[in-house]
A and B are shown apart, each in its own frame.
Chain A
């Protein structure tokens, strides 16, 4: 049943996007590892984790788009789910360091030794196993989203109020993770990673593999999202977005509909965070910053919410712009971001992809109208001709 759902018809655009992402998953690592450095097709080593980072952001934006673009829940706290997934992966990577840390403690990460802790806190158990950590990457954000959503949606908190409490949630987590007593490295977070699954995280091969893994995860998430939004459930979601009370009076339990997509989306965000951490080499409480979550909203809005490829394109474009901009004029980036958001809201309310789609749809309409007009004119011309034909013999007389 599930496979049937996943492989049932997708839009042509989605299929193309999945194909392109998978192509990138194969080509970027190949161009990095196999093509010699002098060649124009060589992808330099520093670029691979950077591109990988963009794809993590794209996955995060796609997750946000599922709740915001399709269900109308403007979450300003999706960065929290991303960071939690990142921390789960970070904890695994910390445990992999073993006795290679500065204090050479085989069990405790450096920051715990520094705080004079004697034993590992209970919630760090199990994170030495990759499978356990991978499970936590989806379970922890999923559980938080489920509990948060259960209360929020049941009490019918919507609109701006919901946005504000999601923002409060990520801010509360930011403050909590800053505390050393929490046992997540406080201010400094988790860093100095050595190995993932036995491979050196700094090595070119590992980075290429991480890039490929990120691209594949994004492609899978795109297929899953497409299956969800094209199902009847997805249509109900859009119904909730556009006319919530109508959906309710048709007998749908709106709170359950919202809760499911919110939880799925949080899990996707968690996966994005987990892939992000080994590629950038650090996770710290800064990832919980409210501004981060708001940036995700901007990527999604720029790309086009309510479309599946929009947020992916938006995240990549804006972050590419950010990389270039912050290198050239570092102090002006926030102004540029703000201006971009204002411009998008004013001139491209449907985002880049939404606007292109609208343009194509209009062209089609226009063509149809032209064809009708042409047919009408042809008919009129034919009629005039036949009238002329009947008139001519009279004129001849």
Chain B
């Protein structure tokens, strides 16, 4: 293990995985520093979602190393372990508990003991109540706390899911296409929210919307065919001839 693994929050080295002969990731190496906000772009099938699956334990790599927080080997853990270690994940399609209220959604996401018996005998403490109220305030859902999540608009569901991830208190947040299907105003607000969140933790955002990535103004990694094509500022990456050829279009 070199120095890079111990100082970085997330460290992927030479990760490969293939499904039925299709190489979804091809020796991918990727590092996220503590407190960093990183954007990932790339054409369909570049391996963006597979990379998130590897980090969150949904898929096991065929080869390569994945370390979190220095020395925790993520390839040996499952989804629940990894979530409890402090990696939160937002899906591409907003995934909230539709038959629960907004409040219950946040309460379930709260970073508390998650065993059968601790949840069976759980009682809402004043501290937890305050925390839930804070999160609702942050994602601007206070007025809708008693509504069923099913009755929220698409954009509101995305925000609720981000709120749930905040409640999870992750060290690293993986966000898959947060602004897909949002209005321009919602998109701009989401950029502000993500920047706010990134002040206290690392965030990795996968997004197709170049305007949104420009709004974020952060380091960009472009993936293609399962490995890193280019990395740097948005202007640097979008002027890279390989990126133009593979992704942005000639």
Spell out A's residues near B (CB within 8 Å).
1-2, 5, 228, 231-233, 235-236, 238-239, 242-243, 245-254, 256-257, 260
Q: Is the CB of B114 within 8 A of A252?
A: yes
Of the candidates A232, A248, A251, A252, the one having the most CB atoms from chain B within 10 angstroms of its own CB is A251
Contact of A246 with B91 at beta-carbon distance under 8 Å, contacts A232-B122, A257-B116 already known? yes
User: Which residues, 104 to 121 on B, are CB-close (under 8 Å) to A?
Assistant: 104, 107-109, 111, 114-116, 119-121
Q: What separation, in Å, do the CA atoms of A247 and B104 have in the docked complex?
A: 13
Whether the pair A249, B100 counts as a contact (CB closer than 8 A) is: no
A–B pairs, 8, beta carbons within 8 Å? A232-B107, A232-B108, A239-B108, A243-B95, A245-B95, A249-B79, A250-B114, A256-B116
Q: List B contacts of A232 (CB < 8 A).
A: 107-108, 119-120, 122
Is A248's CB under 8 angstroms from B100's CB?
no
B84 to chain A, nearest CB (A): 4
A374–B93 alpha-carbon span in the complex (Å):
39
Known: A231-B120, A232-B120, A251-B80. A246 touches B114 (CB 8 A): no
Interface centre among A243, A249, A254, A257 (most CB of B within 10 A): A249
Q: Which of A236, A246, A251, A260 contacts B96 (CB 8 A)?
A: A246
Q: Mark B71-86, 1 if CB is under 8 A from A, else 0.
A: 0000000011001100
Interface 1/0 per residue, B145-170 and A, CB below 8 Å: 00000000000000000001000100
Q: Assess whether B61 is interfacial by the CB under 8 Å rule.
A: no
Q: Is B44 an interface residue (CB 8 A)?
A: no
Interface centre among A238, A248, A257 (most CB of B within 10 A): A248
- Known contacts A239-B97, A249-B56: A1-B164 contact under CB 8 Å: no
Cβ of A249: which chain B residues have Cβ within 8 Å of it? 56, 79, 83, 88-89
Task: Give the contacting residue for B97; candidates A238, A254, A256, A257; CB below 8 A.
Answer: A238
In the complex the two chains form, what is the Cα distance from A1 to B118 in whole Å?
A: 11
A238 touches B100 (CB 8 A): yes
Picked from B80, B108, B122, B168, the residue with its CB within 8 Å of the CB of A248 is: B80
B39 to chain A, nearest CB (A): 21
Q: Is the CB of A251 within 8 A of B83?
A: yes
A260 to B119 Cα, complex, angstroms = 12
CA distance A239 to B56 in the complex (A): 19
The answer on a CB contact under 8 Å between B99 and A236 is no
User: Given A232-B108, A250-B168, A256-B115, 7 other A-B contacts at CB below 8 A?
Assistant: A2-B121, A231-B122, A232-B122, A249-B88, A250-B83, A251-B80, A252-B114
Partner among A236, A243, A248 whose Cβ is within 8 Å of the Cβ of B83: A248
Q: Does B240 contact A (CB under 8 A)?
A: no
In whole angstroms, what is the CA distance A245 to B58 when docked? 9
Max chain A Cβ within 10 angstroms of own Cβ: one of B58, B80, B88, B111: B80
Instruction: Determine if B122 and A233 form an interchain contact, defined as CB atoms under 8 angstroms apart.
Output: yes
Q: Contact between A5 and B114 (Cβ–Cβ < 8 Å)?
A: no
Question: Would you list the 4 A-B pairs with minimal beta carbon distance, nearest first?
Answer: A251-B83, A233-B119, A232-B122, A233-B120
Closest residue to B111 on the A side, CB-wise? A251
Closest-by-CB residue of A relative to B168 is A250
A173 nearest CB across to chain B (Å): 27
Query: Does B215 lie at the interface of the complex (its beta carbon under 8 Å from any beta carbon of A)?
Result: no
Residues of A within 8 A of B122 (CB): 231-233
In the complex, what residues of B have CB within 8 A of residue A243's CB?
95-98
Q: Give the residues in chain B near A245, CB-CB below 8 Å.
A: 58, 79, 91, 95
Q: Contact: A239 with B100, CB < 8 Å?
A: yes
Check B98–A235 contact: CB distance below 8 A. no
Residues in B whose Cβ lies below 8 Å from that of A238: 97, 99-100
Contact of B79 among A236, A248, A260 (CB under 8 A): A248
